[in-house]
Every structure is written in C-alpha cells, then in structure tokens.
Structure 1
Amino acid sequence: MGVTQYKCVIIDDEPAAHYVLISYIEKNANLILVSQCYNALEALDYIRNNPVDLIFLDIDMPEMSGIEFLKSLSSPPQTILTTAHSQYALESYDYGVIDYLLKPISLSRFIKSIERFLSFHQRDETDDPKNITVKVDGRNIELKTYDINYIQSYGNYVKVFTRQKIYLVSTTTQEILSNLSARTFMRIHKSYIVNLSKVEKYTESEVLINNEKLPIGITFKRELLEYLGKSA
C-alpha cells in the first residue's frame, strides 16, 4: 500500500518562514505542499476553491490575522500555528488548532506536530469502509464516513451530523455503530458516537467537534481519554 499524502498550505508573510517549512515538509512523505500564501486574503481564495487537509498558519500577518482568518472559515482545515508569539496559544485552541509551534521551529518539534496530525488520519483502508448505506425518509442513501462528524441518538432514530447537513436515519445507535470502523468511530456517551478524527479539543467531561460540545459518559471516559491521550 502506498503512502497517503495530505495536501498542505503555508500561510505566512515571512519568506524565511516558508523556507524552513518547505524544507521540513519535503522530508515528510505524508505531506505534499500545494500552495504558498503570503497573506490571509490570498489563502482564503485558495482554500475556498481547493481541497486542503492541513494549513501551517502564522498569526501576525497584515490585513487579516491568523485568528481572524480561522474565524472567517465555516469549516477550516486542520491547523498548525507557526508564530513567534505564545500569548495567543490559549485562544487559538478554540478554533480547532491541533498544535502550536513557536519560531524558530526545530525539525524534531515539527515532526512531533505532524505525528499528532497523522494520528487522526492514518487508518487501515481495508478496515475502514469509505461509505455506509442508511435509510432516510424510506429510501437508502450512501454517506461518506469521512464526512460524518458525530451521531446522536434520537428515539428510534439517530441524527447523523455531517459537514454538509444533518440526516435523520431510521436505525439504532448500536446498529449504525456496528457498520462503522472501531478504529475511527467511538461511542463516548449513551447518546453520542464521534468520529475520532474530528475531535478538535477535549476535557475530561466533553469533546469539541465543529464548535459543538458533546458530553463524555462515565462508562466511556476511560477508553476515550486513553485514545486521545495517545494521540495528543
């Protein structure tokens, strides 16, 4: 099986920062650099029209800061901040940032950051079905498993929350879970199943996915936190 490559973009107004990141990206077989942007407005145009898996984002840029850039996107790609200033770290994690690299960035720290990113993405493709068939309004439709953010119990139905819309599916929580990969989806509460790759932030009592806070049930806490701890 070939190496999975993820499309990444550098967004930074400093040419020197691009030089360092390019040299590091070239050393990682899982990453492919698809664009270099020197301001946030340029990046907005590219990301809205092209698929991107990961962005390396500077905070202090002219016209629009990195934080303002993240706020402007309804569903931003996974993000690694690259900045010389640490005072924004806490705020940045409210926007799904997966890591925060202080300049000058060492190669070892960069590698650790990419390992965190890959931990949410790399899966055995033979084990993870790309699509599942569900019944909505009496007809069968196919959903891409990657698009699923989380699933909520709803009486004799479940609500499937995807990047595009919410589906009311005629099935039980346990039935739909049995059709999903255990490597990617986990029950975190009697009422919730989450796509582990979409967890942006977590505490001992809740996870954050697409700006939605979902509770962690006591029964499921240990397994979930052990997984997320290994991925942190």
Structure 2
Amino acid sequence: MRLNCVVVDDSTIHRITIAKLVNEHPDLALVGDFSNASETRSCIINKNVDLLFLDIEMPVQTGFDLLDGLKSRPQIIFVSSKSDYALKAFDYAAVDYLHKPITKERFNKAVQKAMDIFQLKKEGVEEEGEFIFVKSNLKNFKVYINKIKWVEAFGDYIKINTEDETHLVLSTMKSFESELPMDKFLRVHKSYIINIDKVQKFNSRFAEIGNTQIPLSRNKKEDLANALNKP
C-alpha cells in the first residue's frame, strides 16, 4: 500500500525538501508538487490523491482557501513555520501539523498516522461501509457514516447523533459537513445536518427522525423534498 502524495509550498527550498522526504519514504508516491493553490486544486480533481502536505501562508490563496474550495479532501498534513494556525487546522481534520524546519523523524511519525488512518478506513469500508474518525473526550472513535442520524451545533462543539451513541466533538459544522457525502446528508438549518435516509416525515417547519424534530430553515423544505425524491 502506497499513498499518492502532493506537496504544496510557495517556498522552493521547503517544497524540494518535503518532496525529497516523500520520495525517500517506501510507502509514499509523489504525484505532484506545486507552489500555489490553483495548480494544486486541478491536480486533486484530476488525479487520485491520498495525502496532501500543505503550507498555509501562500500568495493569492492560503492553504485553508484551497481546502474550502474542495468538495472532497484527501488526508491533510499541514506544514508551517508558525504555530498560530494549529488550532484552526484542527477544524480541517488534519492528520498532523508539522513545524518548519521538518526533521525526518517527525515527518515519518506524521506519515505513519496517515497510513494507519488510511488502512483503518479501507478495512472499515469492507466491513460495514464508509466511516470517519472523530475525537471525543481525548479518544478517537470510529463512526460509520450510514449510522449517523443527525449532527447539531453545540457551542464550540458539534454533537454527532448515531444509531448507537452520541459524540461531542470540537469542530465547526462547516468542517464536519465537508467530510460527509453530499448525496446522503443535507444542512437543513444553521445548527443541523441530517442524514436524508433517516428522515421519516417532514413539514414546512420540521423533519422527524425517530422521536426527534429537526428544525428546517425557511428555504430548506424544498431542498429536502428534492433530496428525498431522488432515485
């Protein structure tokens, strides 16, 4: 198993350094290295990219801007000379945050995290369908996507309600929404994302999942109706 990697950094020296580390790693394959977000976005759309080594401060568009423009994201390892963005990186479900200059030992540790997650996801798809990892109470939990009923905003956290349990996760709704398949989930309110398959009935104000009424924003009833009527 080898992960297809892309390196993004506007600094030629740092980009070459990271690309060299990728090429020397037996479990990584370099499919591209770029100095800007535009070229990177095109590569990710047209190629199978598993892992992105991403600088944050770049001209025109930042690393965060790049991720915001992607419908589907590979795993992300941020690379930066500043620690200021580490908390924000958490919102993008980053595998790791590497501080420049990067040592080979630290690089390999970050790669191993990505390898472990990739392998677990591969096994999970074969067993019970696609899943994601979430961190709750300082522990990582595997959450199967088809078991999620709805997600709700909870202050600085989100609450993930599944068929079996709930998880309180430090994340934004926007970030978590990007990890969910668009054809299965719908943001029906600023504070709620629902699994379309779990909706039992709805009206102009609420969608019902089990005994729970999920509020609908004024313009979301039609979107929900269209989603439910898709073949």
In structure 2, the residue matched to 1:62 is: 59
Aligned equivalents of 1:129, 1:70: Cα separation in 2? 24
Question: Is this contact kept in 2: 1:151–1:193, CA < 8 A?
Answer: no
- Other structure's SS at 1:151 match: helix
- 5+ residue gaps, structure 1: 133-144, 160-187, 195-203, 215-232
The answer (yes or no) to whether the contact 2:96–2:110 under 8 Å persists in 1 is yes
CA-based RMSD: 3.2
The match for 2:169 among 201, 206, 209 is 206
Query: Is residue 154 of structure 2 the alignment partner of residue 191 of structure 1?
Result: no
1:96 Cα deviation after fit = 1.6
Q: Deviations over 1:155-199 (max 9, x none)?
A: xxxx9xxxxxxxxxxxxxxxxxxxxxxxxxxxx9761589xxxxx
TM-score, structure 1 as length reference: 0.58
Distance 1:77 1:192, change over 3 A: farther
Partner SS state of residue 211, structure 1: helix
In structure 2, the gaps of 5 or more residues are 133-143, 151-159, 178-191, 194-231
Q: Secondary structure at the match of 1:43?
A: helix
Give the Å deviation of 1:105: 0.4
Residue 31 (structure 1) aligned to one of 19, 22, 28: 28
Deviation at residue 131 of structure 1 after TM alignment: 7.7
* Secondary structure in structure 2 of the residue aligned to 1:48: helix
Q: Distance in 2 between matches of 1:118 and 1:38?
A: 25
Superposed, which structure 2 residues align to 1:49-88 within 5 Å? 49-88=46-85
Distance 1:97 1:207 in 2: 13
Shift in alpha-carbon separation, 1:107–1:207, aligned structure 2, 3 A: same
1:128 Cα deviation from its structure 2 partner: 6.2
TM-score of the two chains, using structure 2 as the length reference: 0.58
Q: How far has the Cα of 1:151 moved from its partner?
A: 2.1
Partner residue in 2 for 1:178 = none
Structure 1 position 72, deviation (Å):
1.3
* Equivalent residues, number: 157
Counterpart Cα distance in 1 of 2:121 and 2:98: 29
Q: Which residue of 2 aligns with 1:150?
A: 145
Please show how residues 18-167 of structure 1 align to structure 2 within 5 Å: 18-122=15-119, 130=126, 145-146=129-130, 150-152=145-147
